[in-house]
Amino acid sequence: MKLLKNRHVLLICLLCLTAGLAERLMLLHYEEWSAEPVILSRFMCIHPVYNEKGSWIYGRMGLDYDRFRLMAEHGFSILIECWLFRFVEAVCRFFNLRRGVLYTLDCGIAALIYRLITRIRGVFTLDYLYIRGRGTFDLPDGYIGIAAAGLIIWLIYMLTAYYPFKKKKVKGMTFWPKLLWEFRFTGMILKATVMNAEKRKELFESWQ
């Protein structure tokens, strides 16, 4: 278990380091590639620009750049992402599912940590991969996309285990008892996210 956690920490560190090296490379060639973008395909090119809006959402909503608000948002998002990691891990353990999705969630955590470091440094985000019709992004944006895709695929996979389990447990129940069971099961999983491995195992066994 400890080795597994260390792997996740190592992956997050490597992802942050890779994002930093990519940004450093863009900075070294900023003047050159800003003036003459590197064409990768008909739809993509390397064209470094500073994102003075703060984020893609801020740009869409027309909000002004606010460094401390962004720092608070990233800090809160890291806490949410770490809790989501624990939630997905608990569900996987309950249904005995593979936990490969947790590595995609590492990508989301790494992106948020890197974003927070960028805000603490007091610099604008340097975006460099232009995708025609979509905008300009950086490596952490790709990390977030990987995390979102992994979570969607996991959700579909998880539901294939959840519904047969639920069908077996609520067989013969009427609507309201079924709904109550749903709330109790959700509460049990939420409770498991804050338990240690031994207590969580006892909790799961009482439900299975």
- pLDDT tens digit at each of 208 positions of the chain: 554 568 999 999 999 999 999 999 999 999 999 999 999 999 999 999 988 776 666 666 666 777 888 888 899 999 999 999 999 999 999 999 999 999 999 999 999 999 999 989 888 889 999 999 888 899 999 999 999 999 999 999 999 999 999 999 999 899 999 999 999 999 999 999 998 888 998 999 988 7
pTM for the predicted model, two decimal places: 0.89
Q: What is the residue-wise DSSP string for the chain? A: -HHHHHHHHHHHHHHHHHHHHHHHHHHHTHHHHHHS-EE-SSSEEEEEEEETTSSHHHHHHTPPP-HHHHHHHHHHHHHHHHHHHHHHHHHHHHHT---THHHHHHHHHHHHHHHHHHHHHT--EEEEEEETTTEEE-HHHHHHHHHHHHHHHHHHHHHHHHHHHHHHHSTT--HHHHHHHHHHHHHHHHHHTTS-HHHHHHHHHHH-
Q: Output the pLDDT for position 122.
A: 81
